[in-house]
């Protein structure tokens, strides 16, 4: 829990630091290189509608999901569409769910 006096103290300290620097704050930006691992995994026998999943997820991430019943896959795809605003055409939801259930459905 943050004491009520802490925010004013932090602001006062920042003002003192800026004042001590003559009102100028030096900011140094540094370029950073981020290299992500490559992958040759693909979604097996995926219909074109399922390709939209690869906009945000790797094939490996999808294939490593646990097996779930159709209702759970429906909920996941609806969550991606409605909560995360995935670029899924609502008319393709059933095809995507069919595919996910076929490759990662409960047996």
Instruction: Convert 80-102 to b/e letters by CB count within 10 Å (16 or more is b).
Output: bbeeeebebeeebbeebbbbbbe
Residue at 47 is within a domain = yes
**Cβ within 8 Å of residue 62, ≥6 positions away:** 43, 53, 100, 104
Q: Which domain holds residue 61?
A: 41-107
Q: List the one residue out of 71, 55, 54, 72 whose CA is nearest residue 63.
A: 54
58 found inside a domain:
yes
Assigned domain for 6 exists? no
Q: Is residue 82 part of a domain?
A: yes
Kindly report the length of the chain. 107
> Does 66 reside within a domain?
yes
How many domains does the structure of the chain reveal?
A: 1
**Domain holding 92: CATH number?**
1.10.760.10
Q: In tens digits, what is the pLDDT along the chain, a chain of 107 residues?
A: 555 665 665 555 555 555 555 667 888 889 988 887 777 889 999 999 999 999 999 999 999 999 999 999 999 999 999 999 999 999 999 999 999 999 999 96
pTM of the predicted structure, to 2 decimals: 0.65
Is residue 45 a part of any domain in this protein? yes
């Amino acid at each position: 829990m943050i004491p009520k006096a802490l925010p004013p103290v932090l602001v006062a300290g920042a003002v003192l630091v800026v004042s001590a620097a003559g009102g100028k704050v030096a900011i140094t930006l540094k370029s950073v290189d981020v290299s992500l691992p490559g992958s040759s995994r693909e979604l097996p026998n995926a219909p074109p509608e399922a390709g939209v999943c690869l906009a945000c997820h790797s094939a490996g991430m999808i294939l490593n999901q646990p097996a779930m019943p159709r209702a759970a896959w429906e909920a996941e795809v609806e969550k991606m569409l409605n909560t995360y605003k995935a670029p899924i055409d609502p008319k393709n939801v059933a095809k995507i769910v069919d595919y996910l259930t076929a490759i990662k459905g409960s047996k």
